Amino acid sequence: MTERPGVPARELSDEELERQGVHAHAMRHWVFLHGTAEQFRTHTERMLELEQEYLRRHPQRTWQGSGGGAATPSRDDRIRDLVQTFSRAVTALLDETPDPAAAAGNGQRRDPEEAQAALLRRFAEAPGGRLHKLEAHQIARQLAPDSHLVAQLYRQDPPLLLAERDTRVLTDAGRAWLEAHSASA
């Protein structure tokens, strides 16, 4: 039987529900580190939907229904928990300091060359011009949301950035490009 992602959890067979739940948990780490905000939100919603349906069908298989001091949550308790979770998420978003680079995603397009220069400056500020690949990826998503702009830095001849195992490195050509760009700005 094939997985049917996007099918409401209530319509999945027990086998599909369990398979999709296992898959969702296995993918969580990757989505958390590498996914977009939209992918993370969608993944979270789906994972919660699958978990809630599993709990509804099999309460005794989970700690919530094991009788370990807590009865199976009532419908009202589950609604209350979801509203509190939503409220915490909204409060966390409102408490964030707006990022000017993120404004580019709200219709305020950043000049492509300036986005590349901003990314290269972050590398230049790092010790030895080196960043861990996950940190570099996160900074790139903030400063140059167009992945083609970032890829160009690695692919042009000579490359401005290099990948060395788990590290991304600003090259001498990258430093020269940044210096020339700063002089013309």
Report the run of H or E that residue 92 belongs to, with start and end. Answer: helix 75-95
Distances (CA, A) of 21 to 31, 44, 83: 15, 12, 22
What pLDDT shows up at residue 161? Answer: 95
In the chain, domain spans = 9-79, 109-184
Report the run of H or E that residue 135 belongs to, with start and end. Answer: helix 133-143
Residue range 120-149, pLDDT digits in tens: 999 999 999 999 988 888 888 888 777 888
Q: Chain-wide mean pLDDT for the chain? A: 82
Residue range 156-172, pLDDT digits in tens: 999 999 999 889 999 99
Tell me how far apart the alpha carbons of residues 96 and 37 are, in angstroms, rounded to a whole number.
14
pLDDT bracket for residue 78 (50, 70, 90): confident
What pLDDT shows up at residue 125? Answer: 95
State what percent of residues in the chain have pLDDT above 70: 82
Tell me how far apart the alpha carbons of residues 135 and 139 are, in angstroms, rounded to a whole number.
6
Query: Angle between the 14-34 and 133-143 helix axes, to the nearest 10 degrees?
Result: 80
Highest mean pLDDT among 3-7, 68-72, 120-124: 120-124
CA-closest candidate to residue 45, choices 18, 3, 12, 5: 5
The architecture of the domain spanning 109-184 is Orthogonal Bundle (1.10)
Q: What type of residue sits at position 61?
A: R
Q: Are 179 and 160 in contact (CB under 8 A)?
A: no
pTM over 0.85: no
